Amino acid sequence: MALLNGLHDLGYIHQTRVVGATVWHDQKSFVPWDAQRHTSSGTEPENGGVAVVSRHPTTRAEEFIYRDRCGSDHEAAKGFAYVRVDKAGRSFHLVATQAQSSDTGCGTQHDYRAKSAAIRHQQSTQMDSFLSGLETPGASPAESPSS
């Protein structure tokens, strides 16, 4: 929390919550989620460890928790935060994520790397499906005219 509050003091006042976390009462400010997609059990004891901070207003914020995780990552609500930021009349689409680690708890000594990589691929597919469903007109995938 000290990091987010320090960034707030430096002008990054538009902040999402940490993916998978409940509201932290000592966070100076946060942008509420417009939508939350939890494809997991929702009972993970650890948050996903990622947030988005911006100096510019956030016009949309969504949280997505990945369905598939293994090893110690199974205890974390890993996923991604999607935000649309307005800067000078233009919308920018940002994604922050923390994906599956190469964890020895994901299989045997011989196959845990491959199993971890397969889960990262599944997570990337979930993110791609989400992003493909967004309406983002404009010259590039990261930028679109403001509505």
More confident residue, 20 or 43: 20
* 119 pLDDT higher than 50: yes
* 139 pLDDT higher than 60: no
pLDDT at site 144: 53
Lowest mean pLDDT among 39-48, 69-78, 92-101, 136-145: 136-145
Please tell me the pTM assigned to this model: 0.83
Nearest 5 degrees, angle CA 132-CA 138-CA 144?
85
Nearest by Cα to 31 from 93, 81, 95: 81
Taking a C-beta distance cutoff of 8 angstroms, is the pair 41, 66 a contact? no
pLDDT at site 7: 86
CA distance linking residue 138 with residue 122, whole number of Å: 28
Nearest 5 degrees, angle CA 20-CA 22-CA 25?
140
CATH of 3-135, one of 3.40.50.620, 1.20.1070.10, 3.30.559.10, 3.60.10.10: 3.60.10.10
Output the average pLDDT for the chain: 86
* 38 pLDDT higher than 70: yes
pLDDT at site 21: 85
Lowest mean pLDDT among 3-12, 14-23, 129-138: 129-138
* 122 pLDDT higher than 90: yes
Domain parsing of the chain, residue ranges: 3-135
The beta strand positions in 66-129, using DSSP E, are 79-87, 90-97
